[in-house]
Structure 1
Amino acid sequence: MNGRLNKCITLCLVISFGIFSGCTKGLSTSEQIKSQIPMTVAVIGLDEKIYIEASKEQPNHLTKKVYDGAVAKAMLLQRLEFDSGEGYELEKEVKVKSINSLCLMANFILLDSYRIPYQAQVNSYSDFYSWLSKKQLKWKMLSSKEKDIIDRPCK
């Protein structure tokens, strides 16, 4: 639990620093948002092992909370990509190892054993799940090209 709290605090500090520092002064709103994406993806990647282990488990109280958190992170990423402007694709700004982490998160989110109990949510967020399904395919393809540098490849 302490490690999780430390990750949350680190995430908040990193995002706060980026938002409140003068390093983005003079940039347009979409450029400021784009500059946040690589760090956001890196922070999401910290939970890579958690998504792998949770994927092996049947849904329980803990893994459902992990699922909710993963969905929230993926929705944040979708929003950042959307707000970055027409035609922006985060894959152009993010390293392959980080893309692999996103793919592992997407694999977990899209597991039927977790999605089916959340069917009402899935229906409400059909645009999100459609976006994530397309991204997952793209992330798998990009990850498969660099298997040599990835510890836990997305399959």
Structure 2
Amino acid sequence: MSEIKIGDKIQDFRLRDQKQKEVHLYDFSGKKVLLSFHPLAWTSVCAEQMKSLEENHEMFTRLNTVAFGISVDPIPSKRAWAKELGITHIKLLSDFWPHGEVARAYGIFREKEGVSQRANIIIDEEKKVIFFEEYPMHELPDMAKIANVLEQGR
């Protein structure tokens, strides 16, 4: 299990979104990427975290950033949850199988619970980590802080 550090080149991945489309991280060269990990769909803080991403979609676009919500939930659950929350712009990625593989690779998988830590990782246009923060499971990440990091990286 590797620990993410500022300045590291992020490990690539391929995951499927709520529409079963494959997302290849390295396809987003030339853009910043926000990887917003949340423990489980259908829970209140995770729902607020994903709605916050959706509500800030225009800001992300303006700042040349693509945001993804990532959890260990299977694709059908992600699809139903996105519909329930009204998520239409943000891709919700399934790190379901191999279970938690991406979260493990980034050092944020919680073995005991079988879910990822709540965390935000921002990578720059060259795939280098410019921001990494983990949050208590019950705490909603501060989107103003994320916006500030993205603004500074312009």
Q: Is the TM-score greater than 0.5?
A: no
In terms of fraction of residues, the more strand-rich structure is: 2
Q: TM-score, with normalisation over the residues of structure 1?
A: 0.28
Largest Rg, 1 or 2:
1
Which structure shows the higher helix fraction? 1
Scaled by the length of structure 2, what TM-score is found? 0.28
* Higher RCO by CA contacts (8 Å cutoff, separation 6 or greater): 2
